[in-house]
Structure formats: structure tokens, C-alpha cells
Structure 1
Amino acid sequence: MTNPISTPRMRRGVKVAQFIITVQVAFGLVGLVLVLVGFFSTFDGKLLPVLVYAAVVPALLGWLLSRWSSRRAFVRWVTIAVQVLVISLSMLDLVLYSTLTWGALFGRHALHWAVIVLLLLPQAGHWFDSSRLHEGEDQR
């Protein structure tokens, strides 16, 4: 007889984080198209770092979304790291141009902060880490 593996349903907080990341990827792709249009209309070399950033962040988030169902802990932590990196790079830009304000720090990055908080909740930790429990059961 086969023993069906019961997989718990994804918690609401994890689903919301997944949806927010999907929205971030969609808007990131729109931003990439806009940067590509700007780059190819001016051929300005100053846009190359922006072009790389606009391509790498949605690609990395999309890859993490594709690995989401694996429920591996590294997906959770890399997703948090990417969100922190995006906030940090934006803060660096704001500090360099002396426009850093509380509104710019939190209002502009509300979705990034929401993903970080949702993925740091214990329910997200349980959902991602429980894949290790199932792997241990299979090895016995």
C-alpha cells in the first residue's frame, strides 16, 4: 500500500507574501520595459546599472517564486535577503541625494516591509521548515 503524504495547506500569511512578491515581479517587469525603452532611446551608459538592477531583481524574485512550493528554508531566507537588499539600495540612493525621509523609507517600501514581516512570522517558519520534517520521515 502506498502511504499518502499529507501536506499542510499554505498559511494565509505565506499566501499573502507570495501574492505580494508576484505583484513585485509584475511591476518589476514593467519597470524593466521602461528602463529598456529609456536606454535604447538615449544609449546613455549611465542607465546600465539601472538596467542591470531592473533585470536582476525581478528575475531573482521570479526564481524564488518558482521554488516556493519546495518549502525549503533557504527560499524563505533568500527572499527576506532580497527584500532587505532592495530597501538598502534604495536607502543608499536616497542618502546620496539627501532625500531620505521616514515617508520615503517606509511608505515607498511598504510591500517590501510587509513581505519581510510576513516571512518572519512563526507560521511562515513552520511552513517552510516543515519540509525538512517530511524529508526526515522519507529517509527512515
Structure 2
Amino acid sequence: MINMAVQAEKMPAILVATRFVVVVQLAFGLFGAAIMTPLFMGAFSHPVLLVLLMPYVVVLVCMGLLVFRWSSRQKWVRWGGIAFEGVMVGYHLVMAVVHAEFGWMTLVHPSTVLPAAIVIGLLTPSAVRWFVR
């Protein structure tokens, strides 16, 4: 009997850790949405105003797409993750500057550290090799 099992390449450890960080980021976002939606509805009591939550929902959908397509190993997943998380870091830093709250605590805030860690993880040579195949 011939064993015809296909050997799949194992995901590099840096990408396993990076995917975990994306999942943690997504969990924080879902938790925030679960808290914000009822509070938002109670405060404004008009369903049409849920449109103001749409950017938040788009961010969650993009993170979910990134998590669920991670193992496809397609180039667009890597580049999409780099672009998306880069925008997240930039948005957080710009908002800190605009609101005059920029300081050393801004740089160690989870909204800066988590996306930066994801971008760094996706820019490693092992990530390039993983997503090219």
C-alpha cells in the first residue's frame, strides 16, 4: 500500500505569533462593538444613527477577512495586512497629535503596539517566503 499523504509546509513561528496578535486585536474590536452598539443605541435612540458605527464595522470586517484568509498564503493577504495595520498605526498617532495627547504613552498604547507588531511580523523574510508560495 502506498502512502499518498501530502506534506504541508508548517507556518513559521513568527507568522503564528503575528496571526495570534491579529486575533487578539479582532477580539478587542468585537468586544468593543458588543459594548458600544447598545450604549450608542441607548444614548441616541435612533436606528439611523447606527451609520456612524459603519467605519468601526468596516475595520472589524477587514480584520476578520485577514484572519480567515491567512492560511491561503496569497500575496494580497500579506500586503493587505501590512497596508491595513499601517493605516491603523497612522490613524492612532494622527488622532493623538490632533487631540494634543501625543506622548510616550501613545507609543506604548495597544492601538500602536499591536498593529506595529503585525506589520513587523509581516515584513520578515520568513513571511515573504510563506506568502509567495
Q: Structure 1 length as normaliser, TM-score?
A: 0.80
Match of 1:74 in 2: 76
Match of 1:9 in 2: 10
CA contact (8 A) 2:41 2:50 kept: no
Partner Cα separation in structure 1 for residue 64 and residue 126 of structure 2: 22
1:28 offset after TM fit, Å?
A: 0.4
Match of 1:95 in 2: 97
1:2 offset after TM fit, Å?
A: 10
CA contact (8 A) 1:22 1:65 kept: yes
| Same amino acid, percent of matched pairs | 29
CA-based RMSD of the aligned residues comes to 2.3
Unpaired segments ≥5 residues, structure 1: 131-140
CA contact (8 A) 2:30 2:60 kept: yes
Greater mean deviation of Cα atoms: 56-65 or 71-80: 56-65
1:8 offset after TM fit, Å?
A: 1.2
Partner Cα separation in structure 2 for residue 4 and residue 73 of structure 1: 26
CA contact (8 A) 1:94 1:100 kept: yes
Q: 5 Å matches for 1:10-89?
A: 10-43=11-44, 49=52, 51-89=53-91
Match of 1:116 in 2: 119
User: Aligned pair in 2 of structure 1 residues 87, 46: CA closer, same or farther (>3 Å)?
Assistant: farther
Partner Cα separation in structure 1 for residue 50 and residue 95 of structure 2: 14
Match of 1:133 in 2: none
> Aligned residues, how many?
129
The Cα offsets for residues 87-121 of structure 1, whole Å up to 9 and x where unpaired, read as 11112211211111233034332111111111100
